[in-house]
Amino acid sequence: MARRSKLKVLALLPALALVVAACGSSDSGSSGGTTAANGVKLVEAGKIKTCTNLPYPPFQFKDGDKVVGFDVDLIDLAAKKLNVTQDIVDIQFDVIKSGAALNSGKCDVAAAGMTITDERKQNLDFTNPYFDEVIALLVPKGSGITGLDQLKDKKLGVQKATTSLDYAKEKGFTPTEYEDSGKQLQAFQSGQVDAVLQDLPVVNEWLKKQNLGEKFEIGAEIETGAQYGFAVKKGGNPELLKTLNDALDGAIKDGTWAKSYEQWMGSKPKSTPSGK
């Protein structure tokens, strides 16, 4: 009796497998995903999920309950092409740059004021550049510090997993690392470090805050020659990559990029980012 029941179950398995396969299939071609316009794969129907690391003004930061900024505006252009809305996912930057956030399906695109580097290209597929990188050295006002060579015996603060960290290490520093730009600024304000390295637009945004411009100043601006890009899963979403590039290309050509730049950076762009 037990043997006959087991055989019955085994006989039913191929049919059950077909039913499960039919129920689990989707037109996306990716597990748990969905397909938007132009065959673009998305994690969740009706949304383009964007991984970033908050706060990172003026690229992404909270204004009340809403996340706004330069990067947000540009990804919204791609969302419009796909007839979806953008959903921001706040996550640690090292999880973004390693590709883990995209590989695990937490998001469709990474947008975090992220510099394109050869190391990161191993884990991510980048869009064409959309912003030229400049790093700022923020120091106490009146300190007379105009370069890293004057900080050899002092404490330098950087954001974890960033190109500012890489630059500091290249110059022989072992800086104190912070999880996000907000914690980095708090450490500088409380005197835990003597100076900080951070992307220039972020520092400019800090200096707009009450009292900060009276206490601190930019000691040096470092043009690295690098550029920012958005990123998608390595080898996993060429259709989305194309949509993002088309949106960026269109925005640069029709003036939308420059208009958004001026809104968030507070000045007209000195240059327009070149393609790959």
Residue with tokens 């309950």: 65
Query: In terms of Cα–Cα distance, which of 94, 3, 45, 56 is closest to 181?
Result: 56
In terms of DSSP bridges, do strands 131-140 and 216-228 run parallel, antiparallel, or are they unpaired?
Answer: antiparallel
Q: What pLDDT score does 5 carry?
A: 38
- Residue 34: phi and psi, rounded to 5, are -145, 170
Q: How far apart are CA 78 and CA 141, in angstroms?
A: 41
Q: Which residue has the higher pLDDT, 195 or 13?
A: 195
Instruction: Residue 57: name the closest of 199, 247, 246, 159 by CA.
Output: 199
pLDDT of res. 31: 42
**pLDDT, tens digit, 9 for 90 and up, residues 81-120:** 999 999 999 999 999 999 999 999 999 999 999 999 999 9
Phi, psi of 192 (to 5 degrees): -70, -25
Side chain identity at 34, as an amino acid letter? T
* Full set of structural domains in the chain with CATH: 34-130+229-265 (3.40.190.10), 133-226 (3.40.190.10)
Share of the chain above pLDDT 90, in %: 82
Task: Specify the amino acid at residue 233.
Answer: K
pLDDT digits (tens, 9 = 90+) for 111-146: 999 999 999 999 999 999 999 999 999 999 999 999
Indicate the pTM of the whole model: 0.84
Using alpha carbons, select from 49, 48, 104, 113 the residue that is nearest to residue 80.
48
Q: Quick one: DSSP state of residue 266? A: S
Contacts of residue 271, defined as CB under 8 A and 6 or more positions apart, other chains included, come to 132
How far, in Å, CA of 97 to CA of 149, rounded?
Answer: 29
